[in-house]
Amino acid sequence: MESIQAIKLRFGIIGNDQKLNRAIQKAIQVAPTDISVLVTGESGVGKESIPKIIHALSHRKHNKYIAVNCGAIPEGTIDSELFGHEKGAFTGATATRSGYFEVADGGTIFLDEVGELPLPTQVRLLRVLESGEFFKVGSSKPQKTDVRIVAATNVNMAKAIEEGKFREDLYYRLSTVEIKLPPLRERKEDIHLLFRKFASDFAQKYKMPTIRLDEGAKQLLQNYRWGGNIRQLRNVAEQISVLEQNREIGYSTLKEYLQDVGSNLPAIIPSQKNKSDFANERELLYKVLFDMQRDLNDLKKLTFELMNNPNTNNVQEQHAGLINKIYSNSETKPLNKFDKTEEKPLETEDKPTVEVINITANETISKNKDKYSFVEDVEDVEEEENLSIQEKEIELIRKSLEKHNGKRKYAAKELGISERTLYRKIKRFNL
């Protein structure tokens, strides 16, 4: 068995951090077996090195090693890429194609960003892990494959499982052994070693002297957070190597390439608005619209009774709640009793309002018909309303029924009406 130092030299791994050494040691130990391995760690920590070590030290080293970036393959074609397809299985499938699991038979497949796999593909992958079988897209004939799977992800798998984005049974199949690589900020002693290696490589590549850091720049380099880890460090080293004329780099020069050093950046708070929030807002809108319709119907009813009932006191008592509601947001004071001695209607300055007058038993509606000039033919009012409220009501009922697959019980509950009322409206509007 090769030593950790020999493996580092062989695969170009730089660093002496204890956590890094432990990860490499675990890779060396599991390599001779066929155990599935899950490599975890932040983006840019070098997770792709571990599956290469495992394959090179396994009995499969003379067979194929295929690395697949699951996050880079479109959801509609990933099944075809992994498992292949038959001719005519879908539009554009002009010939039978072998997938990675068929091509890598006897070897190793590295599934990078496995947390990005769509759920249907996760089911297919679980079958491969459990029985070694898979189906090509468009085929009903199972095929066997003998493949070692090493997966990697920077996703919080516990959270992904909780949110239903990743299958729990697949996670336990993949993570028989889990190897976690530490972020660069936890390997402070390795940061300068890596920077020197990158600076040397770029000096050779661009044929220029190697850049060097003074003590202040070294301290800044080690204390910086490095959110992009090794990938970000390499990028900074390349920028400085190309852009700086002076090959001695100080604190102030390095700080220009780490622009957020010492700044109080605003916190980015992700939006928590999800589908359930939009559903709640839609339900609230439904209720508001239906409340408006009920108020309009009540107002029409009150108008009818004022026109046809000679005893307006009784009308007021029966509809006191509605009258107070009409005036609740108005500067006009609601009437508790009609003044029998005052024959003139109440007036509000510069505000056209419904006039409520006292009509004695001996007076007729025709005598005061001009006072109700605002009330035209009720059927016309209803037709105008139907052009707006009724159309909205039909639209809302239809959408709610579609949402609940025609189940009136749930649609009625969402709309805030009884199931019987909903049934009556369905028959009335011929929905």
Q: What is the largest CA-CA distance in the chain?
A: 115
Structure tokens at 21: 């050494």
Helices 4-11 and 18-30 pack at an angle, to 10 degrees, of: 90
Written as six digits, the tokens of 361 are: 């038993």
Position 293 confidence tier, pLDDT thresholds 50, 70, 90:
confident
Per-residue confidence at 322, pLDDT binned at 50, 70, 90? low
Burial 148-176 (b: 16+ CB within 10 A, else e): bbbbbbbbebeebbeeebbbeebbebbbe
Sheet containing 37-40, strands listed edge to edge, beginning at the edge strand earlier in sequence: 65-69, 108-112, 148-153, 37-40, 177-180
Residues with Cβ within 8 Å of residue 358, at least 6 apart in sequence:
312, 338, 339, 340, 342, 343
pLDDT at residue 276 tops 70: no
At 190 the three-state DSSP class reads helix
Please compute the mean of the pLDDT values over residues 289-293 and round it to a whole number: 78
Residues 6 or more apart whose CB falls under 8 angstroms from that of 115 comprise: 153, 154, 155, 157, 160, 165, 166
Nearest to 113 by CA among 205, 26, 41: 41
- Calculate the average pLDDT of the chain: 81
Q: How far is CA 18 from the centre of its chain?
A: 37
Q: Alpha-carbon distance 236 to 229, whole Å?
A: 11
pTM across the whole model: 0.61
Strand ranges for 13-104 from DSSP E? 37-40, 65-69
Residue 346 has pLDDT above 70, yes or no: no
Stretch 194-204: mean pLDDT, rounded? 95
Within 10 A of 366 (CB to CB), how many other CB atoms are there? 7
Digit-coded pLDDT (tens) for 120-134: 999 999 999 999 999
User: Which amino acid type is present at position 10?
Assistant: R
Supply 25's token pair.
Answer: 């040691």
Beta strands in 41-147 (DSSP E): 65-69, 108-112, 133-135, 142-144
171 vs 372, which has greater pLDDT?
Answer: 171
Query: Can you tell me the distance from the alpha carbon of 39 to that of 27, in angstroms, rounded to the nearest whole number?
Result: 10
- Judge whether residue 275 has pLDDT over 60: no
Pick from 70-79, 307-316, 326-335: least confident: 326-335
CA distance 103 to 92: 21
Task: Give all domains of the chain, ordered by start, each with its CATH number.
Answer: 4-182 (3.40.50.300), 187-257 (1.10.8.60), 274-308+376-431 (1.10.10), 315-363 (no CATH)
Neighbours of 37 (CB within 10 A): 25
